């Protein structure tokens, strides 16, 4: 892993290092009493309510919760795709989203979506170069060099730089998407169940790639998932959301050391954390299920 980390580090323009990169200066997210009501005049679906969390710059936060509990809604609000109905979100102490302020997406918060959103009509390379080119912060040549470099170090993806997304496996597509996000050097990386549709083996590879990336170019990461093991394995902190309306039920601090490797999955500490998280989540799932039955009746 060490050689690999060094090479990613130099590609991203960081000092080669074996320790976890220091906290970045930017990327502190403060989410205060955020609520979201869809269609307030009509059906008034309360998707998220009274949701507060503080995410320090460079933290890796995972959010787990039953399907439909408002996880994507929260991500979309942070990303600026949707407005919030109450509360506020600050990025580095500056207002990012408030009830007065219209949503405003920006390249400081890039999302990797659950179904994948590479532009199918662009080659891998063009997808990755899209951000810097459209913002005109790099010349074509600079963008190409950086893109190929990042692609190469994320598992040799530069070999498929000229291919179209549809020609890649879903695992490769997802890695390209993460590289595309990283190209913009975002303060916050929002990953909305990026590995949802993947088999366990591919997932493990993806986790390694993601952790290596995090280890070197550390950024604030909000990672949404259904998979409890995934959440614990990757994150510093796991937040459990309740079923609709989504609020925060519990927060679990993951004190496992970094760099993390697959060997960790078998450790006693890991299993203890998983048991704790499972208990919290299953209680919530059961409540959601019972409430669903009541609504049906």
Partner 1 sequence: MSSVENTVSKPHPGKALVAGRRSRLRPPNWRGSVAVVGFFLLWEILVRAQVSGFAQIPSPVTVVKVLFTSYLLDPGYWESWLTSFQRVLYGFVLAQLLGIPLGLLLGTRKTFNYLFYPVIELLRPIPPLAWVPLSILFWPTAELSIVFITFIGAFFIIVINVHDAVRHINKEHLWLAQSLGASRGQIFRRIIVPSVIPSIAVGMTLGIAVTWNVVIAAEMIAADSGLGRLTWEGYVSHTGPVVIIGMISIGIAGYLSTLVVDWVEKRMMPWKTR
Ligand X SMILES: Nc1ncnc2c1ncn2[C@@H]1O[C@H](COP(=O)(O)OP(=O)(O)OP(=O)(O)O)[C@@H](O)[C@H]1O
> Which residues of the shown chain bind partner 1 in the complex (CB under 8 A)?
1, 3-4, 76, 79-81, 105-107, 109-111, 113, 115, 117, 119-124, 130-131, 134-135, 155-156, 159-169, 171-172, 175, 184, 201-202, 204-206, 208-209, 261-262
94-97 and 109-112 strand pairing:
unpaired
- With residue 50 as reference, give the H or E element that holds it: strand 45-55
Q: Could you tell me which residues come within 8 angstroms of residue 43 by beta carbon, excluding any fewer than 6 positions away? A: none
Q: Does the protein bind ligand X through residue 247 (CB under 6 A)?
A: no
Which of the choices ligand X, partner 1, Mg ion, none does residue 45 contact, using the CB cut-off of 5 to 8 A by kind?
ligand X
- The reply to whether 35 sits near ligand X by the rule CB under 6 A is no
**With binding defined as CB under 6 A, does residue 45 bind ligand X?**
yes
- 73 scored as a contact of ligand X (CB under 6 A): yes
**How big is the site for ligand X, counted in residues (CB under 6 A)?**
13
Least CB distance to ligand X at residue 287 (A): 15
Q: Does 30 bind Mg ion (CB under 5 A)?
A: no
How many residues are recorded in the chain? Answer: 297
Cβ burial of 2 (10 Å; 0-12, 13-18, 19+) is exposed
Alpha-carbon span 8 to 16, nearest angstrom = 8
Residues 6+ apart with CB under 8 A from 14: 21, 216, 217
Decide which of ligand X, Mg ion, partner 1, none touches 120; Cβ closer than 5 to 8 Å per partner kind. partner 1
What lies within 8 Å, CB to CB, of 192 at 6+ separation is 71, 72, 75, 111, 112, 113, 114, 224
Neighbouring residues of 102: CB distance < 8 A, sequence distance ≥ 6: 83
By the rule CB under 5 A, 73 interacts with Mg ion: no
Could you tell me which stretch among 64-72, 126-134, 140-148, 176-184 binds ligand X (CB under 6 A)? 64-72
Q: Which of 29, 31, 36, 72 binds Mg ion (CB under 5 A)?
A: 72
> What's the rounded Cα separation, in Å, for the pair 42 and 189?
33
Residue 249 engages ligand X in binding (rule: CB under 6 A): no
172 binds, among partner 1, Mg ion, ligand X, none (CB under 5 to 8 A by kind): partner 1
User: Which residues bind to ligand X, rule: CB under 6 A?
Assistant: 38-39, 45, 47, 65, 67-73, 244
């Amino acid at each position: 892993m060490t050689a690999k980390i060094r090479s990613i580090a130099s590609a991203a323009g960081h000092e080669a290092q074996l320790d976890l990169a220091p906290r970045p200066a930017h990327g502190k997210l403060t989410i205060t009493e955020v609520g979201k009501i869809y269609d307030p005049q009509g059906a008034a679906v309360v998707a998220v309510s009274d949701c507060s969390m503080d995410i320090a710059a460079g933290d890796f936060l995972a959010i787990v919760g039953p399907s439909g509990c408002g996880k994507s809604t929260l991500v979309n609000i942070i990303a600026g795709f949707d407005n919030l109905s109450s509360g506020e979100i600050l990025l580095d102490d500056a207002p990012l989203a408030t009830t007065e302020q219209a949503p405003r997406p920006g390249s400081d918060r890039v999302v990797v979506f659950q179904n994948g959103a590479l532009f199918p009509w662009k080659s891998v390379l063009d997808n990755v170069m899209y951000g810097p080119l459209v913002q005109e912060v790099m010349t074509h040549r600079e963008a190409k060099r950086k893109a190929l470099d990042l692609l190469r170090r994320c598992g040799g993806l530069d070999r498929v730089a000229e291919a179209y997304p549809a020609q890649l496996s879903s695992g490769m597509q997802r890695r390209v998407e993460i590289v595309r996000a990283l190209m913009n050097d975002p303060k916050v990386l929002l990953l909305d169940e990026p590995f949802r549709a993947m088999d366990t083996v591919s997932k493990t590879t993806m986790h390694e790639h993601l952790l290596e990336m995090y280890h070197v170019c550390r950024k604030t990461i909000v990672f949404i998932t259904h998979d409890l093991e995934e959440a614990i394995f990757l994150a510093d902190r796991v937040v459990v959301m309740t079923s609709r309306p989504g609020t925060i039920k519990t927060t679990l601090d993951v004190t496992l050391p970094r760099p993390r490797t697959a060997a960790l999955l078998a450790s006693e500490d890991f299993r203890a954390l998983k048991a704790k998280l499972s208990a919290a989540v299953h209680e919530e799932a059961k409540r959601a299920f019972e409430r669903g039955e009541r609504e049906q009746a």
